[in-house]
């Protein structure tokens, strides 16, 4: 399991540590599992094992600082301005980092006594699921923190996406936990100590792909959890959010507790938990996700996945919205059709779509800017992102000038977006204030000022003018000093001396010979330079720094006012960001549909699956890039087994396109239920509840499972979970074991899917014997992928036609793959021999596959059991009991 790295124990602090080290130990005690970044001036320092670990991961120098228990203290440091880069690498390497900041200025510390040191405290613990910095996040992917809990046999998953302020809560059966969790693709998963060791949860946690973080089980106790969640939302009861199951409250409680510690009390602006039973979504378990490469390829990359192939979004918020839509397709035909209406409407309005996409292109990531500001981490650039987002929202709302013709009016989903784009008076006021007060291109950090537009605050302009005028006077002063003294002075500035006049030792010498009437006051002598000041320069220096401080303080105040306003208006601002993201995702689906000629699927409550001329979007793109055509294929299955079969056995040579055909049909289900158009001439889909795809399982040696074991575990999941509303694609089940075992397993699975699960199924196999199922079962048909031998060469037509394939052409494929000619020739000879011998060796009909199952014989009741049943222990004396025992012993011989 992917658990966070723990660090070796640190030496315990003892009496007599310096006050600074005492502060370090206090921070360490608060977050013993995290690497503590301890702020000292312009650096974050790391000590002891933290320093050793960080120096190894980051490649930074390990030095020493003082001694502890007679040993040198290992130390390493990183400059404050470079923090984000180092954080990214530590988090990626699986560590957690606690940021311990100076929480007062040296001047404030001095007020408490001349020997006081500045107070420090942990302001945040950085973990994979709670990141908000753009540089640490994938702009086009959501970063989610999840928690799982099980109570009274029911499971729940709570998920928070901090950078969008969105919370989800899903209750499900324990068996569906893995599927539910994987749909959110969390980067970090919280679980109680008890759950961490629970074998029932292990597979679900492993399949999630996130770092697993165990928390004290007490945190998930219903009472404590409920209180924490109420505190997080500032409400007295959760009833207003819906009737939560106990497991949901506990999972939300884990999230709330984790946010409390990692965000050090800064509560992010979160929307109320969106409750969705797992029944609202197409269930896709982790193995199916992996096999279909929906949002990641099997190598874990976005490139090459279905999502990357169809993504035409122009904003990062839109990309995230599309990813969510494709990762969690819906199950309700009404909701699916509402999504399709929106895509169709924008598809038909090319000009509007172009203007919409052009408008969106300029918008920054509003959702993430809002959450950073609400968490107290944002800067002026985030304010600019909000300003641009709001301006664009207004412009986009204006594009949709509503026509009185109801036939032309946008469908409900688009109307919903437009509603959210209508800014409330408060949000409009904020937009105006930012337009008036914030410079066009503000800096990243508020710390150094320079982001308030001149004219917005007269008293700020006044302070800045004073500062700048005085700077000009300082520049004049240099010329005057040189003229009057004849010494080549240069005016310089540093943090310790402020402004000073500097000259070389040689030139300074005459100044020391002048008496007290000299205007030049000596400040410092260095090896080659001497520094002076004058009364006038000191006064100017004080004026400049006072004005500078005043200006900075005023800018800081202005920033804080805006920041608080953003925090207060976080919900409506996030709603605008959501609406922009949804419009982008919808327009992107229309754009892709137009580009690839995808069509609107008919989605209803039937059990039909009928695709005409369907195409695999990813393989098609790859094949076309190589200059080849892609062959579309029809596919029909019917759960009722009426118009056509329920289960298709797909045979054909290696490389003929079986896997592509199977996956393409599964992907069409994903696309259609995500409310997207599908690459086909036409499609009718009776909505699917669970999608299963098993395409040649790979080894999972890290978890100690062989290929065959993995395949059987996954097959078992299908046979226990698939329903008549499910859609199953199975590729080469049973290939990982001896031929007859494999064939027998494949046979039995096909039968079970047909008779018991009754799911719509495509079953690809190299066991051509399975073709006989067509005659034996009512709702089975054979399909084969065509290939032809032409002039001794094998030509793949990639065409699915009815009927079974006659052979595998494996030897020809080996030849194509470049296996040496001698080996190919030998293989051909062996194959011929085997084929001639096969008839003599064993006839398939002799296998028990074709034998009628004998009814099981009734169990033989043993004489011992009958004797035990005849006993009445309450009626026996001790002596009779002993005798009975001897009798039983004799019977058992
Ligand atoms: N419909 C199609 N049109 C064009 N090319 C296709 C089509 N289907 C598959 N191909 C090409 O054929 C290659 C092999 O396809 P695929 O892996 O689906 O074959 P297969 O029958 O499953 O092979 P094997 O039995 O060896 O696993 C694909 O990578 C693709 O390049």
According to CATH, the topology of domain 140-280 is: Nucleotidyltransferase; domain 5 (3.30.420)
pLDDT at residue 866 tops 90 = no
pLDDT at residue 404 tops 80 = no
Alpha-carbon span 805 to 789, nearest angstrom: 13
pLDDT at residue 691 tops 50 = yes
Between the CA of 655 and the centroid of ligand 1 the distance, in Å, is: 5
Question: Tell me, what's the pLDDT at 702?
Answer: 46
For 737, other C-beta atoms within 10 Å of its C-beta total: 16
Out of 121-135, 215-229, 315-329, least confident range: 121-135
Between the CA of 785 and the centroid of ligand 1 the distance, in Å, is: 9
654 is known to lie in a ligand binding site: yes
653 is known to lie in a ligand binding site: yes
More confident residue, 226 or 868: 226
As given in the structure block, the two tokens for residue 213 are 């973080």
Calculate mean pLDDT across residues 295-315: 92
Calculate mean pLDDT across residues 354-362: 94
Calculate mean pLDDT across residues 134-149: 85
* pLDDT confidence tier of residue 848, bands split at 50, 70 and 90: very low
Query: Using CA of residue 693, residue 696, residue 697, residue 698, what is the dihedral sign?
Result: negative
> Contact 548/457 with Cβ under 8 angstroms?
no
Among the atoms of ligand 1, which is closest to the Cα of residue 616? 1
Choose from 26-35, 57-66, 414-423 the range with maximum mean pLDDT.
414-423
Among the atoms of ligand 1, which is closest to the Cα of residue 652? 21
Alpha-carbon span 322 to 216, nearest angstrom: 36
Q: Please, is 693 exposed, middle or buried when counting C-beta atoms within 10 Å of its C-beta (0-12, 13-18, 19+)?
A: buried
Kindly report the CATH class assigned to 19-126: alpha beta
Question: Tell me, what's the pLDDT at 858?
Answer: 44
Calculate mean pLDDT across residues 21-42: 90
Between the CA of 453 and the centroid of ligand 1 the distance, in Å, is: 61
Out of 397-411, 498-512, 693-707, least confident range: 693-707
Q: In which residue ranges of the chain is CATH 3.40.50.300 found?
A: 602-848
> Contact 247/155 with Cβ under 8 angstroms?
yes
652 is known to lie in a ligand binding site: yes
657 is known to lie in a ligand binding site: yes
Question: Tell me, what's the pLDDT at 271?
Answer: 83
Among the atoms of ligand 1, which is closest to the Cα of residue 785? 21
Between the CA of 657 and the centroid of ligand 1 the distance, in Å, is: 3
pTM: 0.79
CATH hierarchy code of domain 306-449+561-596: 1.10.1420.10
DSSP 302: S
> Contact 372/136 with Cβ under 8 angstroms?
no
Question: Tell me, what's the pLDDT at 76?
Answer: 92
Out of 26-35, 89-98, 364-373, 466-475, least confident range: 466-475
655 is known to lie in a ligand binding site: yes
Question: Tell me, what's the pLDDT at 838?
Answer: 59
* Residue nearest to ligand 1 atom 24, measured at CA: 654
Which has the closest alpha carbon to 102: 76, 73, 123?
Answer: 123
As given in the structure block, the two tokens for residue 573 are 């601002």
Question: Tell me, what's the pLDDT at 646?
Answer: 93
Share of the chain above pLDDT 70, in %: 91
- Ligand 1, from 611, 653, 659, 763: best to mutate by most atoms within 8 Å of Cβ? 659
Out of 6-20, 426-440, 624-638, 743-757, least confident range: 6-20
Question: Tell me, what's the pLDDT at 851?
Answer: 42
As given in the structure block, the two tokens for residue 336 are 């699916």
Between the CA of 812 and the centroid of ligand 1 the distance, in Å, is: 15
pLDDT at residue 855 tops 50 = no
> Contact 728/722 with Cβ under 8 angstroms?
yes
pLDDT at residue 748 tops 80 = yes
Calculate mean pLDDT across residues 570-585: 94
Number of H helices, E strands in the chain: 31, 27
Look at the chain and count its residues.
Answer: 893
Question: Tell me, what's the pLDDT at 839?
Answer: 52
Write out 125-136 in H/E/C secondary structure.
Answer: EECHHHCCCHHH
Mean pLDDT value across the chain: 85
Q: 486-522: b or e for each residue (b if 16 or more CB lie within 10 Å)? A: ebebebeeeeeebbbbbbeeebbeebeeeeeeeebee
Close Cβ partners of 709 (under 8 Å, ≥ 6 residues apart) = none
pLDDT at residue 5 tops 60 = no
Out of 103-112, 379-388, 528-537, least confident range: 103-112
Between the CA of 462 and the centroid of ligand 1 the distance, in Å, is: 73
Calculate mean pLDDT across residues 146-170: 90
Alpha-carbon span 587 to 417, nearest angstrom: 12
**Residue range 540-574, pLDDT digits in tens:** 888 888 888 888 899 999 999 999 999 999 989 99
Q: In which residue ranges of the chain is CATH 3.40.1170.10 found?
A: 19-126
- Ligand 1, from 654, 655, 765: best to mutate by most atoms within 8 Å of Cβ? 655
* Residue nearest to ligand 1 atom 9, measured at CA: 657
For the chain, state the CA radius of gyration.
36
Choose from 202-216, 426-440, 725-739 the range with maximum mean pLDDT.
426-440
Question: Tell me, what's the pLDDT at 842?
Answer: 47
Calculate mean pLDDT across residues 595-603: 97
- Ligand 1, from 661, 798, 805, 807: best to mutate by most atoms within 8 Å of Cβ? 798
First to last CA, the chain: 50
Which has the closest alpha carbon to 256: 234, 231, 274?
Answer: 231
Query: Using CA of residue 47, residue 79, residue 133, residue 140, what is the dihedral sign?
Result: negative
Question: Tell me, what's the pLDDT at 631?
Answer: 94
C-alpha to C-alpha distances, 80 to 442, 543, 601, 841, 874, nearest whole angstrom: 20, 29, 54, 77, 81
Between the CA of 250 and the centroid of ligand 1 the distance, in Å, is: 47
Out of 642-656, 798-812, 878-892, least confident range: 798-812
Alpha-carbon span 543 to 537, nearest angstrom: 10
Question: Tell me, what's the pLDDT at 511?
Answer: 77
Which has the closest alpha carbon to 575: 435, 432, 419, 431?
Answer: 419
* pLDDT confidence tier of residue 9, bands split at 50, 70 and 90: very low
- Ligand 1, from 632, 656, 808: best to mutate by most atoms within 8 Å of Cβ? 656
Question: Tell me, what's the pLDDT at 204?
Answer: 87
CATH hierarchy code of domain 602-848: 3.40.50.300
656 is known to lie in a ligand binding site: yes
Calculate mean pLDDT across residues 19-35: 89
For 236, other C-beta atoms within 10 Å of its C-beta total: 8
121: which strand partners? 101
Question: Tell me, what's the pLDDT at 828?
Answer: 77
Alpha-carbon span 224 to 254, nearest angstrom: 10
> Is residue 72 within a helix (H) or strand (E), and if so which, with residue range?
strand 71-79
Alpha-carbon span 844 to 870, nearest angstrom: 50
Question: Tell me, what's the pLDDT at 847?
Answer: 45
* pLDDT confidence tier of residue 16, bands split at 50, 70 and 90: low
pLDDT at residue 703 tops 60 = no
Which has the closest alpha carbon to 718: 770, 744, 687, 754?
Answer: 754
Residue with tokens 């096909």: 750
Among the atoms of ligand 1, which is closest to the Cα of residue 696? 27
Which has the closest alpha carbon to 7: 45, 56, 78, 43?
Answer: 56
Pairing between β-strand 780-790 and β-strand 793-802 as defined by DSSP bridges: antiparallel
Q: What is the architecture of the domain spanning 458-547?
A: Orthogonal Bundle (1.10)
* pLDDT confidence tier of residue 315, bands split at 50, 70 and 90: very high
For 206, other C-beta atoms within 10 Å of its C-beta total: 17
1 is known to lie in a ligand binding site: no
Between the CA of 298 and the centroid of ligand 1 the distance, in Å, is: 17
* Residue nearest to ligand 1 atom 15, measured at CA: 657
Calculate mean pLDDT across residues 749-763: 92
Question: Tell me, what's the pLDDT at 801?
Answer: 87
Between the CA of 222 and the centroid of ligand 1 the distance, in Å, is: 53
pLDDT at residue 433 tops 90 = yes
- Ligand 1, from 619, 666, 735, 808: best to mutate by most atoms within 8 Å of Cβ? 619
Ligand 1 environment, Cβ below 6 A: 619, 623, 630-631, 652, 654-660, 785, 798
Among the atoms of ligand 1, which is closest to the Cα of residue 619? 30
Question: Tell me, what's the pLDDT at 419?
Answer: 93
pLDDT at residue 14 tops 60 = no
Q: In which residue ranges of the chain is CATH 1.10.1420.10 found?
A: 306-449+561-596, 458-547
Calculate mean pLDDT across residues 438-445: 91
pLDDT at residue 608 tops 90 = yes
Calculate mean pLDDT across residues 609-629: 94
Calculate mean pLDDT across residues 237-243: 83
CA 584, chain centre distance (Å): 20
Q: Does residue 633 sit in helix, strand or coil?
A: strand
Between the CA of 667 and the centroid of ligand 1 the distance, in Å, is: 15
Q: 172-188: b or e for each residue (b if 16 or more CB lie within 10 Å)? A: beeebbbbbbbbbbbbb
């Amino acid at each position: 399991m992917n658990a966070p790295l723990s660090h070796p124990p640190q030496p315990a602090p003892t009496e007599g540590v310096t006050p600074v080290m005492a502060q370090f130990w206090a921070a360490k005690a608060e977050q013993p599992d995290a690497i503590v970044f301890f702020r000292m001036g312009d650096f974050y320092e790391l000590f002891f094992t933290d320093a050793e670990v960080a120096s190894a991961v980051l490649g930074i120098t390990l030095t020493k600082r003082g001694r502890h228990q007679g040993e040198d203290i290992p130390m390493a440091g990183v400059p404050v301005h470079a923090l984000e880069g180092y954080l990214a690498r530590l988090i990626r390497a699986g560590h957690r980092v606690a940021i311990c900041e100076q929480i007062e200025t040296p001047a404030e510390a001095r007020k408490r006594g001349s020997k006081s040191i500045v107070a420090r405290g942990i302001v945040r613990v950085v973990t994979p699921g709670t990141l908000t910095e753009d540089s640490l996040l994938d702009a086009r992917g959501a970063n989610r923190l999840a928690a799982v809990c099980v109570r009274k046999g029911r499971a729940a998953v709570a998920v928070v996406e901090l950078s969008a302020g969105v919370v989800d809560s899903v209750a499900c059966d324990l068996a569906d936990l893995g599927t539910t969790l994987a749909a959110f693709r969390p980067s970090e998963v919280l679980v109680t100590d008890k759950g961490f060791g629970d074998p029932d949860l292990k597979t679900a946690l492993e399949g999630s792909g996130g770092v697993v973080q165990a928390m004290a089980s007490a945190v998930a106790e219903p009472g404590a959890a409920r209180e924490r969640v109420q505190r997080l939302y500032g409400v007295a009861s959760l009833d207003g959010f819906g009737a939560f199951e106990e497991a949901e409250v506990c999972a939300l409680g884990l999230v709330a507790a984790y946010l409390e510690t990692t965000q050090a009390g800064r509560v992010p602006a979160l929307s109320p938990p969106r409750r969705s039973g797992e029944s609202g979504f197409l269930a896709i378990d982790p193995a199916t996700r992996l096999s279909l490469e929906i949002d990641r390829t099997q190598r874990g990359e976005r490139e090459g996945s279905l999502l990357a192939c169809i993504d035409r979004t122009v904003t990062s918020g839109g990309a995230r919205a599309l990813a969510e839509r494709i990762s969690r397709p819906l199950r309700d035909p009404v909701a699916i059709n509402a999504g399709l209406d929106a895509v169709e409407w924008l598809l038909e309005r090319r000009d509007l779509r172009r203007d919409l996409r052009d408008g969106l292109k300029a918008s920054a990531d509003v959702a993430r800017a809002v959450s950073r500001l609400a968490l107290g981490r944002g800067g002026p650039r985030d304010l600019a992102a909000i300003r641009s987002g709001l301006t664009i929202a207004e412009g986009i709302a204006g594009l949709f000038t509503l026509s009185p013709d109801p036939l032309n009016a946008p469908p409900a989903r688009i109307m919903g977006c437009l509603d959210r784009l209508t800014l409330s008076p408060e949000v409009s006021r904020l937009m105006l204030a930012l337009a008036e007060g914030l410079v066009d291109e503000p800096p990243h950090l508020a710390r150094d000022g320079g982001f308030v537009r001149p004219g917005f605050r007269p008293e700020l302009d006044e302070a800045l003018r004073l500062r700048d005028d005085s700077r000009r006077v300082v520049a004049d002063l240099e010329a005057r000093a040189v003229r009057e003294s004849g010494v080549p002075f240069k005016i310089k500035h540093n943090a310790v001396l402020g402004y000073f006049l500097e000259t070389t030792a040689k030139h300074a010498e005459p100044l020391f010979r002048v008496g007290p009437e000299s205007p030049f006051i000596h400040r410092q002598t260095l090896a080659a330079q001497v520094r002076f000041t004058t009364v006038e320069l000191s006064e100017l220096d004080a004026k400049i720094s006072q004005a500078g401080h005043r200006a900075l303080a005023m800018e800081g105040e202005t920033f804080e006012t805006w920041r608080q306003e953003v925090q207060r208006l976080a919900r409506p601002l996030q709603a605008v960001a959501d609406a922009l993201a949804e419009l982008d995702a919808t327009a992107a689906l229309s754009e892709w549909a137009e580009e690839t000629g995808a069509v609107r699927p008919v989605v209803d409550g039937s059990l039909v699956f009928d695709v005409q001329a369907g195409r695999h979007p990813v393989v098609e793109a790859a094949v076309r890039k190589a200059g080849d055509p892609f062959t579309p294929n029809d596919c029909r299955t019917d759960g009722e087994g009426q118009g056509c079969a329920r289960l298709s056995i797909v045979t054909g040579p290696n490389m003929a396109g079986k896997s592509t055909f199977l996956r393409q049909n599964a992907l069409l289900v994903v696309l259609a239920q995500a409310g997207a158009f599908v690459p086909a001439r036409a499609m009718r889909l009776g909505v699917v509840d669970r999608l299963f795809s098993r395409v040649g399982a790979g080894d999972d040696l890290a978890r100690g499972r062989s290929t065959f074991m993995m395949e059987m575990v996954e097959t078992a999941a299908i046979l226990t979970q698939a329903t008549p509303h499910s859609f199953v694609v199975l590729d080469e089940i049973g290939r990982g074991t001896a031929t007859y075992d494999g064939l027998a397993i494949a046979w039995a699975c096909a039968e079970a899917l047909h008779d018991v699960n009754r799911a719509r199924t495509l079953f690809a196999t190299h066991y051509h014997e399975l073709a006989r199922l067509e005659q034996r079962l009512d709702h089975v048909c054979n399909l084969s992928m065509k290939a032809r031998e032409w002039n001794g060469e094998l030509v793949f037509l990639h065409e699915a036609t009815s009927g079974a394939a006659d052979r595998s052409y494996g030897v020809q494929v080996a030849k194509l793959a470049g296996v040496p000619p001698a080996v190919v020739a030998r293989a051909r000879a062996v194959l011929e021999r085997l084929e001639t011998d096969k008839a003599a060796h064993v006839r398939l009909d002799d296998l028990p596959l074709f034998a009628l199952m004998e009814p099981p014989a009734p169990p033989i009741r043993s004489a011992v059991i009958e004797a035990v049943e005849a006993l009445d222990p309450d009626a026996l004396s001790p002596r009779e009991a002993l005798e009975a025992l001897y009798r039983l012993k004799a019977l058992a011989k």
